[in-house]
Structure 1
């Protein structure tokens, strides 16, 4: 299966700038960006909610970048770097798409800002709703009864 924008040539900084412009257009009042070795991070404020997205960055030393498909054959440093940069560009394009789709869905009334961005809303203390609730959700699925997907179906 192919990935969205897997062959994109759009530089990561241009995708980030597109996200910032999109946020502004849909009413965001603040925007921040940063990165470390493992993640790029964007934060913004919209509808009086602080939203945080951490974009996981690939490991530039992973075999998918450094090794060819032939066992034991390493790629050149420049070839590995090109593949790594391609993967980073793809992730930024996907993030731009997700944010734009969520904002458009809220703009036309399909859903609300809180519904679309719930897992990424920052709570007092700095954790997101998703970080706060994920362990409880996992525990519920592991030890509890999960409602049927469709009405009238079996409870798992």
Structure 2
């Protein structure tokens, strides 16, 4: 199975600019991009909400970059080139993800909050996903699940 944007030549800086322009066109009042070893973070504020995407980036020491398919050691230049390609692909996938969320919102498939829920930043600086995902994993681990439907008066017999 192929990866999205496999073989793309679009520079990371160009994709970052495209994301920033997409967010600006959709009304984002603030944007920020940060990168450190192993991850990139995109922040924006829109509709009185702060949104954060934290995207893992491939590490230069990963075997898929340092060795070819036969297991032979790659040159430093070849390893760097392979990693840069993986980063370009990852950034293109993030752009597509954000675009798709806006398509979903504009098509009224879901609301802004529903679409970006896991990425909404709450007081304390964590995202909803960072808070909720461990609780969901624990619920599945223990088998203690909340009811699918909230408690109520039952079906209407109208």
| TM-score w.r.t. length of structure 2 | 0.89
Match of 1:32 in 2: 32
Distance 2:12 2:54 in 1: 15
1:69 deviation in Å? 1.8
Match of 2:9 in 1: 9
Task: Report how many residues are paired.
Answer: 146
Match of 1:75 in 2: 74
Residue 132 in structure 1 maps to residue 135 in structure 2: no
Match of 2:88 in 1: 89
1:108 deviation in Å? 2.5
Larger radius of gyration: 2
| TM-score w.r.t. length of structure 1 | 0.90
Secondary structure of the residue aligned to 1:22 is helix
Distance 2:43 2:78 in 1: 32
Distance 1:146 1:77 in 2: 50
The runs of 5 or more residues in structure 2 that have no matched partner are 147-158
Secondary structure of the residue aligned to 1:104 is helix
Distance 1:111 1:54 in 2: 22
Residue 43 in structure 1 maps to residue 50 in structure 2: no
RMSD, matched Cα: 1.2
Residue 119 in structure 1 maps to residue 118 in structure 2: yes
